[in-house]
Amino acid sequence: MTLSPQALELDINARLEFMGALSNAARAITLPLFQSPEGIVNKAEKTGVTGEAYDPVTKADIEAEIALRKMITAQFPQDSIEGEECPDYVGENDFSWTLDPIDGTRAFVAGVPVWSTLIALSYKGQPVLGLIDVAALDKCYFGRTDAANKSAWCIHKGEAVSLKTSPCDDLRDAILGCTEPLSMLKPGELAAYNIIRRGVKFSRLGLDALGYALIAEGRMNIVIEALLKPCDVRALMPVIEGAGGKMTNWYGGSPVDGGRVVAVSDAALLPELYTYLQRAMDPR
């Protein structure tokens, strides 16, 4: 059923207010376990992947996702839920939540405070609300991109600050990020990435979702990654685009289903980036 603009805005407002409660509930579980990690399992071993693969999941991942799902089904029982660790729940309306209780589990295990909780709300398959909660730094980034409102903001130490990306139309002035290019990029993709890396001002690695939040904050200009899952990207999209940036796949399409992703502070950077990224010949 298609909602009227007024009804849709009210429904999104209610879920936006609820996002804060979800974030607080996740923090109550994840922050204590960040100090003393428990129950670390390599999912790659369970799936039979051998070699150098390491795909960790922790007690915090599982317990936080279960808690968030219980809260959502109690408050909005007709909404669908997708997550990183638990089976999908198919609801009865056009709203869908996407959860990643700990994005950056390797950082979490290593004690690096750049991991985050990602929560997205989609309407008819399009993310309209996004939350990136970098709990260990006490920085919670929100984004909204429905028809009634396009904005982004960060809450830090109880203060809310509006977010706006920085203008940058020349690759030579850009700051580039990628979590781990050697592990997430195939040889052809890595070659394309390195062409771009050599042309920017400088690059930073190992930031996970924080890199995207820093684009929204106006500190960075480009993030290029691959091998992302839907739960890795959907929360990022409203934050980036609500702040004035742009996020696509490497061919200019929607990144909503993950895969190869590029996020920029200024859409003027995209044509040149696509020229290099589309030279990657590795199949996906």
- Annotated ligand binding at 11? The verdict is no
Note the Cα 226 to chain centre separation in Å: 13
Q: How far apart are CA 223 and CA 191, in angstroms?
A: 16
- Annotated ligand binding at 225? The verdict is no
- Annotated ligand binding at 100? The verdict is yes
**65-102 as b/e, with b when 16 or more CB fall inside 10 Å?**
bebbbeebeeebeebbbbbbbeeebebeebbbbbbbbb
**CB-based contact 108:34 (threshold 8 Å):** yes
At 21 the three-state DSSP class reads helix
Token pair of 148, please? 């009634």
Here the contacts of 141-144 (C-beta below 8 Å, separation 24 or greater) are 141/213, 141/216, 141/217, 141/239, 142/16, 142/19, 142/239, 142/242, 143/216, 143/237, 143/238, 143/239, 143/240, 143/241, 143/242, 143/243, 144/12, 144/16, 144/238, 144/242
- Annotated ligand binding at 61? The verdict is no
- Annotated ligand binding at 103? The verdict is yes
Annotated binding site: 84, 100, 102-103, 232
Annotated binding site for Mg(2+): 84, 100, 102-103, 232
